[in-house]
Structure 1
Amino acid sequence: MDFNQDYKYLFCLVENALISQGVNTLLAMYINLLVNLGVLILLVLLIKYFTRRFVIETFKAFTDKTATTFDDFLIKSNFPKYVGQIIPLLIIYYSIPYIFADFHFLLESIVFLFNIYVIILAVWIVRSLIRTSRNYLMTQEEYSDKPIESYSQVVLIVLWVIGFMFIFAEITGRSVISFAISLGAASAILLLVFKDTILGFVASIQVSVNDIVRIGDWITFSKYGADGNVTEINLATVRVQNWDNTFTTIPTYSLISDSFQNWRGMQESPGRRIKRAIYLKQNSVKFLNAEDLQKLKKIKLISNYVENRQAEIDRYNEKNNIDRSLNLNGRNQTNLGVFRKYADTYLHEHSAINKDLYIIVRQLAPTAQGLPLEILCFSRDKRWENFEYITADIFDHLIAAIPYFDLKLFESPSGDDLQNLKQGSSGNQDHV
């Protein structure tokens, strides 16, 4: 049996019936064409409807029985919808030559449009698989901090370039290979057009390989006004949600071309650094006499230190026959030295400070604003709000403790200070 002849007879059934009734041959051909197109469109719509329903329902039933979310993302990316178009397209593909057998001038155009649509559909199907893979990997813990978005965008760009190459080859009648060769000749222009994309791609690879930035990292990028958590890394930009809930976009390439601060090391370390100085008036520093020492011995944190330290100093002075009529002679304790010991002991006793990391209380070089006494330690709690609370708590206490050591804080004179000084001078003149 000749199937081709049978199909041809089937598609010409209306035409033959009309001609047998005496209808003009040309008119019968056009009526036959319209009828065949109508039947084909109706048949394709019905098959498309039932096929899509079947494919989608099958996918849904499958996803309900599986524990993975990959198939769920397949549905969200319209993969079943695109796959459901394959059977209707096959019907159209095998029907077109018979429907337009007598219309060769239309057949070539219809076949051309059909091929273009098939290429686009193939791109859509692959694109949905890429998006599904991207969304699925982003839900996996081991990939949650990787720039998956950047890689998927690169693959999508390559996919569309290949798709356009096939479309262009279909339009021009040239092979894809010859088109790719001619495309290579225009590589300089392409490099110029896709410069930012190429730079972003290279940067995203370096960022990932060198582990410079991850999604979720807290970064500070003063050049772009960014200070917050990285929420997205794609081919062109890095999105940062700042602490005031605003968003800043940073060019991906700037992560390797400019300097920025990544706080991940602090977050992964056992403590967050507290580094701040108290500025003291240098003329408030003095040697301690016996009365001062008795007063300081009442401070619990340093009472043993003051007593033991003074006993050691007295032994040294006696051994070396030091003239104690002047405190300048020999060895002596100072109120600043005792305060430094107090601050150090206080930090070691503080429950929020990590004792396994550095705890340093040191003097810095004197400045025009006074003598800096720097506190360097690490808080156990690295959360921002708790860190600020701990820091404030420490310096509240130390600043309040300074007068007990007869030390004075340095503070630039305010308008009130100058006014009080002026009034005091006037009062003295009136009294005179």
Structure 2
Amino acid sequence: MNQEILKYYLCWLQNYFVNSGMNEDLAIFLNTMINSIVLTFVVTLIDIFVRKFIVQIFKAFSDKTKTTFDDFLIKSNFPRFVAHFLPVIIVWYTIPIIFIEYQLILKFLLRIIDVYLIILIVLIFRSILKTTRSYLEHKPRFHDKPLQSYQQVLMIFGWGIGIFFIINILTGYSIFSLATLGAASAVLLLIFKDTILGFVASIQVSVNDIVRIGDWITFSKYGADGYVTEISLATVTVQNFDHTFTTIPTYSLISDSFQNWRGMQESAGRRIKRSLFIKQTSVKFLSSEEIEELKKVQLIKPYIEHRERDVQKYNQNTEADKSVLLNGRNQTNLGIFRKYADAFLHENPAINKDLFLMVRHLAPTDRGIPIEIFCFSYDKRWENYEHIQADIFDHLIAAIPYFGLELFEIPSGKDVSQISAKFNSSN
């Protein structure tokens, strides 16, 4: 009954023109054009009104609820997309009557409406995904997860299914035939090869917890050294310490080697590992006078005295001829310096004594004897860590001459000039 009433009003102009003596074909054409213009105007007004009405309802509802999910729905334009359904339904219900005399045009318009409905459904699906991602990003449990990559994967599937249905509507070919699916799969594999690799990589990154948003990573291959700010399906964005941004292919996180500093950030300290290179010719046995002089160094006085008693007891038992310093056991300036460095680190309040701490003697090289400092600072912040490390080595470098040791240093032009001048003056 309603459709009959609607058909009566839509054909009223046509009947009026015909009754006025107008050619029937012209009357049908004019009636169709006028009704199309009126329908377009009415539908536009309804769309504007419904959109504003639904958006206001959503805002009023979100203001009364404690959850933020509905707030994110508004930001993702979900109410606006939903509001488009009523005008589309009116057009879909009305145009078969308006264009009843033009079946080809009617068929084309109905297909366009079907395509628009599919696109509208995909857009609503996208807004729901964006809302879900934004909502979960504000949860502590999910804020460091690659949610954007999952959203992009689901959107690819959503648009893929939508495109299949659009092709089916426009061409009439079934999307479920074996040949069609095979050809479509081949095309998708070729076009979305990088996307598929990124999808696989993002799953592995998430499941294996390789990288999280907020992690500090160093990726020398791509010049990245900073914090991960975004993990998407195709790329990982890193903000470097100079505030530049570097993008890394997501797949490279599982195909190449990089350094993630999260373990250090979550641990009880940050490692200090650096060597001092001692000139080998400065290493020597210490005489009694030199030992007595080093006893004035408070940090190592107990060690020197204890060590001296052990050495004297051993030399007496073996009746070592100490007229030659080489005989028996002796203390060396390098050994006492190592003990001093160890005692200095143990006294330093910035060093975590519960973690591994060692001053070790590495194999001699052409640059001298490496004395490696290996310890952990309490403060893991980069700036403070560098200050702690600098303070330690400033002190140790300044302390080396007190033990009769010299640091190795490649001769500079000034050194060569001084040697040459001494040589010339001696000649």
Pairwise TM-score range, normalised by the shorter structure: over 0.9
Q: List per-residue Cα deviations over 1:1-43 (Å, max 9, x = no partner).
A: x333322212111222222232332222222222222322222
Which runs of no fewer than 5 residues in structure 2 stay unpaired?
none
Equivalent in 203, 206, 229 of residue 205 of structure 1: 203
> Per-residue deviation at 1:181?
5.0
The reply on whether 1:230 has 2:228 as its aligned counterpart is: yes
Corresponding residue for residue 167 of structure 1: 166
Q: List per-residue Cα deviations over 1:39-73 (Å, max 9, x = no partner).
A: 22222122111111111111111222223322222
TM-score (norm 1): 0.95
Corresponding residue for residue 39 of structure 1: 38
Corresponding residue for residue 147 of structure 1: 146
> Per-residue deviation at 1:89?
1.1
Quote the Cα distance in structure 2 between the aligned partners of 1:420 and 1:74. Answer: 78
Quote the Cα distance in structure 2 between the aligned partners of 1:204 and 1:78. Answer: 27
Give the superposed CA RMSD.
1.5
2:408 match: secondary structure: coil
Corresponding residue for residue 60 of structure 1: 59
Quote the Cα distance in structure 1 between the aligned partners of 2:72 and 2:186. Answer: 38
Q: How does 1:226-375 map to 2 (within 5 A)?
A: 226-375=224-373
Quote the Cα distance in structure 1 between the aligned partners of 2:399 and 2:368. Answer: 18
2:383 match: secondary structure: helix
> Per-residue deviation at 1:381?
0.7
> Per-residue deviation at 1:266?
1.1
Equivalent in 415, 418, 422 of residue 413 of structure 2: 415
- The percent identity for this pair of structures is 59
Corresponding residue for residue 191 of structure 1: 189
Say which is worse superposed, 93-102 or 411-420, in terms of deviation: 93-102
> Per-residue deviation at 1:397?
0.1
Q: List per-residue Cα deviations over 1:178-208 (Å, max 9, x = no partner).
A: 3x75122453343222211111111111111
Q: List per-residue Cα deviations over 1:334-393 (Å, max 9, x = no partner).
A: 111111110000000101101011111111111111111111001111111111111110
Structure 1 counterpart of 2:63, one-letter code: D
Quote the Cα distance in structure 2 between the aligned partners of 1:64 and 1:251. Answer: 41
Q: List per-residue Cα deviations over 1:260-288 (Å, max 9, x = no partner).
A: 11111111111111111101111111111
Structure 1 counterpart of 2:384, one-letter code: N
Say which is worse superposed, 134-143 or 86-95, in terms of deviation: 134-143
Quote the Cα distance in structure 2 between the aligned partners of 1:41 and 1:154. Answer: 37
TM-score (norm 2): 0.96
Aligned partners of 2:175 and 2:181 also within 8 Å? no
2:227 match: secondary structure: strand
Change (3 A) 1:51 1:206: same
Say which is worse superposed, 410-419 or 95-104, in terms of deviation: 95-104
Structure 1 counterpart of 2:147, one-letter code: I
Q: Which runs of 4+ in 1 moved over 3 A?
A: none
Which runs of no fewer than 5 residues in structure 1 stay unpaired?
none
Quote the Cα distance in structure 1 between the aligned partners of 2:251 and 2:361. Answer: 42
Say which is worse superposed, 182-191 or 205-214, in terms of deviation: 182-191
Structure 2 counterpart of 1:88, one-letter code: P
Quote the Cα distance in structure 2 between the aligned partners of 1:326 and 1:69. Answer: 85
Structure 1 counterpart of 2:124, one-letter code: I
The reply on whether 1:79 has 2:78 as its aligned counterpart is: yes
Quote the Cα distance in structure 2 between the aligned partners of 1:292 and 1:29. Answer: 120
The reply on whether 1:108 has 2:107 as its aligned counterpart is: yes
2:423 match: secondary structure: helix
Q: List per-residue Cα deviations over 1:281-320 (Å, max 9, x = no partner).
A: 1111111112111111111111111112212222222233
Structure 2 counterpart of 1:54, one-letter code: F
